[in-house]
Amino acid sequence: MNETCESAEKFLSEIVTDMGLELEVSAEWTDEGCLLNLIGNDSHLALAENGEMLDAFEVLLFQALGRGLDREHRFVVDAEGFRQTRKAELHAMAKFAAGHVRKNGIPFTFGVLNSTERRIIHMSLQQEEDLHTESVGEGRERRLQVRLK
């Protein structure tokens, strides 16, 4: 495991302890970057509101330690397999959007997705020769659009 990932594990452990949460943090280095897993009685709190606390932890980690990561790597905070389940959902959504665009010939615009979710769909469809994906809009109104090339 790389040094930045070890620092992230320690940093996140201190945060959850200071918050009074019953959570243990484990970390491992993967192809995506540093995967930090939260395990414990309070994991349901981290998953509330569609995993907003997981997203917040990722932002904190990136702000505090992001300079230690290469551009292609990220911090991914997970609990109870939430991220893997969500990733599978996003791949299915990408497949649905691709079929919709091909069938109807009109662009498909997703609802609100965070930057990581938009990236997963972009990556899922990047090999499709007849489709183009792009993020449109600004800030919280940013949406992902799939259309024919």
| pLDDT tens across the length of the chain (149 residues) | 689 999 999 999 999 999 999 999 999 998 889 999 999 999 999 999 888 999 999 999 999 998 888 888 989 999 999 998 999 999 999 999 999 999 999 999 999 888 888 989 999 999 999 999 999 988 888 899 999 98
- Terminus-to-terminus CA distance in the chain, angstroms? 41
Q: Which residues are CB-neighbours of 67 under 8 A, at least 6 positions away?
A: none
**Angle, helices 115-125/82-104, rounded to nearest 10 degrees:** 50
Does 85-148 carry CATH code 3.40.50.280? no
CATH code 3.30.300.20 region(s) in the chain: 3-80
Give burial (CB, 10 Å; 0-12/13-18/19+) of 146: buried
Does 3-80 carry CATH code 3.30.300.20? yes
H-helix segments, 39-78: 43-65
**How much is the pLDDT for 139?**
83
